[in-house]
Amino acid sequence: MSQSLSQTLSQHLRMEQRLTPQLIQSMSILQKPVAELEAYIADTLESNVALEIADPEPTEPESDGAAGAKERTTIDLPENRGFARLDRFSRDYDLDGIDHPPFAVRRYASDGDRDAKMGAMANTEGREISLHEHLLNQWTMIEMEAEIRRAGEAIIGRLDPDGYLRIPLEEIAEGSRPPLSVDLLMTALIEVQKLEPAGVAARDTIECLLLQLNALPGDNTIERTLIERHVDDITHNRLPAVSKATGYSIGEINEAIKAMRSSLCLHPGYLVGNRSLPPIRPDVIVEYSETGGGLTVRLTRGNTPHLRVRDDVASLAKSKENGKETREFARKHIEEAAALIDAIHFRRQRILEVARAIAEKQRDFFDVGPSGLKVLRMSDLAAELGCDPSTVSRTVADKYLQTPRGIFPLRYFFTGGTETEDGETVGWDRVKSRVRDLVEAEDRRNPFKDDQIAALLKNEGIDISRRTVAKYRQQLNIPAARQRREF
């Protein structure tokens, strides 16, 4: 049997979809939240010589009505072109409402030689102190032997942000240079655990609570007994068993539990410094129309940058008097600038389309709250808008909607649901809200079990299983009936 190799030429006709660099950039910009978009535009303005911020002309906001709700695209524009630069400065530095630039500081003779930069630094908010710095500041004020001081510094340096020491002393001893003995580290650990806040350097939850209990005044015998021997029973609300084992009445145990919840902290390290979350910047604002009845949908200021191609760079690309390299350089930057402008325009229009659809289809939410949410799927909205569901997913990713009821993620308004016996569709968030309402209204001495909640919902026309009730209860951080029971 002989074999041979040969080469032939042939033509085939086929269709395929390819992602161009411009499409990839458009999808990337669509997915960016407003703060990230502003940072991206600022970086591009620095690197692309053909791109600049345009001074926009005053325009009338576009508007359209739909299904009982008026929606308009309002873009915040300065009314006078002469104030465009001041408007951008105010936006960048969050100085809306200030009618004078903060940098126009008048110097007086009484100022002497005071440096303006030093004054600005003095008025700047200081950096929040960390837990390690807070503890080291206390540690340096205590008189002790040099070796114990070094051992304590090694322990403080290995604490987790919540204040726990989750690394064995043997591991700290091995990693120290020069080496430290475990006995020396144990001696230092006892001293470190005396620092503020109480409970730091604990190796487990029980030790953390006992350290805090030691720092409290008064007789804490009942609390100490509960922490040392019955934490698991208290966690699972087995108070009769605790009462039988300790001899304390259920009333005394309940009072002790209330006292511990008000005075003890499971994560004492978080008490040091400011751990507040950064503020959320909404991408879209939906509010009631001033004329009454309808809703107004508008983008926030950061979503509407006014960019254009510089005239001088465009002239460089067209003029034959310039060299080929100069023209190619200008054309390349012009193409990149035009692609960015198109991508931002596409992003703006897509966000507005999705926000308008939310305002129309979830109108009951704006009137009655979360219980008014209806079933809204991304696939259905994508079919209505004539795009792919992934485009809708990118549009709502990491973006927030400001409403009269607060700020919500755009994804919050897309939910599945079930159908009642009357044929009405009910969103899952509405079902969760109803589960919460039933639990809050129950008799604490005889709380509802999951199958009882499912039966109550079925009487209202919502037919879901006990397992689904349990899943929603866990998502709402609602304990089981046994743990909700009050004795």
Report pLDDT digits (tens) over 33-78. 888 888 889 899 899 888 888 865 544 444 443 333 333 433 333 3
Question: Residue 302 in contact with residue 281, Cβ under 8 Å?
Answer: yes
* Distance (Å, whole) CA 352 – CA 398: 15
The tally of domains found in the chain comes to 3
* Distance (Å, whole) CA 120 – CA 92: 18
* Distance (Å, whole) CA 254 – CA 410: 42
Residues 6+ apart with CB under 8 A from 467: 450
Q: Assess whether 234 and 152 both reside in one domain.
A: yes
Average pLDDT over residues 90-115: 40
For all residues of the chain together, what is the average pLDDT?
79
Helix (H, G, I), strand (E, B) or coil at 425: strand
Q: DSSP assignment, residue 394?
A: H
Between 249 and 434, residue with greater pLDDT: 249
> pLDDT value at position 159?
93
Which of 414, 433, 448 delimits the end of a domain? 414
Question: Residue 136 in contact with residue 148, Cβ under 8 Å?
Answer: no
Asked if residue 351 is part of any domain, the answer here is: yes
* 202-206: long-range contacts, CB 8 A cutoff, minimum separation 24: 202/163, 202/164, 202/165, 203/164, 203/165, 203/166, 204/164, 205/231, 205/266, 206/231
Order across the sheet with 284-288: list the strands: 295-299, 284-288, 400-403, 406-409
Asked if residue 125 is part of any domain, the answer here is: no
Average pLDDT over residues 217-235: 89
Q: How far is CA 443 from the centre of its chain?
A: 36
User: Which tokens is 402 given?
Assistant: 């400001």
Question: Residue 292 in contact with residue 217, Cβ under 8 Å?
Answer: no
Q: Assess whether 329 and 430 both reside in one domain.
A: no
Question: Residue 257 in contact with residue 275, Cβ under 8 Å?
Answer: no
Residue 257 domain boundaries: 131-271
Which of 414, 439, 471 delimits the end of a domain? 414
List the CATH number of the domain containing 454: 1.10.10.60
> pLDDT value at position 72?
43
* Distance (Å, whole) CA 413 – CA 374: 8
Q: Assess whether 175 and 147 both reside in one domain.
A: yes
Q: Assess whether 292 and 390 both reside in one domain.
A: yes
> pLDDT value at position 364?
86
pLDDT over 60 at 298, yes or no:
yes
Q: Give the residue ranges of DSSP H helices in 63-214.
A: 84-93, 116-122, 131-139, 146-156, 169-175, 182-192, 205-214
Asked if residue 119 is part of any domain, the answer here is: no
> pLDDT value at position 94?
43
Confidence band, pLDDT 50/70/90 cuts, at residue 281: confident
List the one residue out of 349, 351, 367, 360 whose CA is nearest residue 296: 360
Between 86 and 445, residue with greater pLDDT: 445
Most confidently modeled range among 154-163, 359-368, 467-476: 154-163
Asked if residue 122 is part of any domain, the answer here is: no
Asked if residue 379 is part of any domain, the answer here is: yes
CA dihedral 29→415→366→76, nearest 10 degrees, is 0
Asked if residue 264 is part of any domain, the answer here is: yes
Q: Assess whether 140 and 265 both reside in one domain.
A: yes
pLDDT over 80 at 450, yes or no:
yes
User: Which tokens is 254 given?
Assistant: 């309940």
Q: Assess whether 366 and 306 both reside in one domain.
A: yes
Average pLDDT over residues 381-408: 89
Q: Assess whether 174 and 232 both reside in one domain.
A: yes
Average pLDDT over residues 291-309: 83
Question: Residue 91 in contact with residue 42, Cβ under 8 Å?
Answer: no
pLDDT over 70 at 234, yes or no:
yes
Asked if residue 100 is part of any domain, the answer here is: no
pLDDT over 90 at 164, yes or no:
yes
Q: Assess whether 393 and 458 both reside in one domain.
A: no
Percent of the chain with pLDDT over 70: 80
* Distance (Å, whole) CA 256 – CA 258: 5
Asked if residue 384 is part of any domain, the answer here is: yes
Question: Residue 230 in contact with residue 252, Cβ under 8 Å?
Answer: no
Tokens 């983008």, residue?
299
pLDDT over 70 at 456, yes or no:
yes
Q: Assess whether 262 and 392 both reside in one domain.
A: no
* Distance (Å, whole) CA 156 – CA 191: 11
Buried b / exposed e over 287-317, threshold 16 CB at 10 Å, is ebeeeeebbbbbbbbbbbbbbbbbeebbebb
* 16-23: long-range contacts, CB 8 A cutoff, minimum separation 24: 21/339, 22/339, 22/342, 22/343
Q: Assess whether 304 and 406 both reside in one domain.
A: yes
Q: Give the residue ranges of DSSP H helices in 369-408.
A: 378-385, 389-396
Q: Assess whether 293 and 383 both reside in one domain.
A: yes
Q: Assess whether 236 and 287 both reside in one domain.
A: no
Which of 364, 398, 414 delimits the end of a domain? 414
pLDDT over 90 at 97, yes or no:
no
Question: Residue 61 in contact with residue 74, Cβ under 8 Å?
Answer: yes
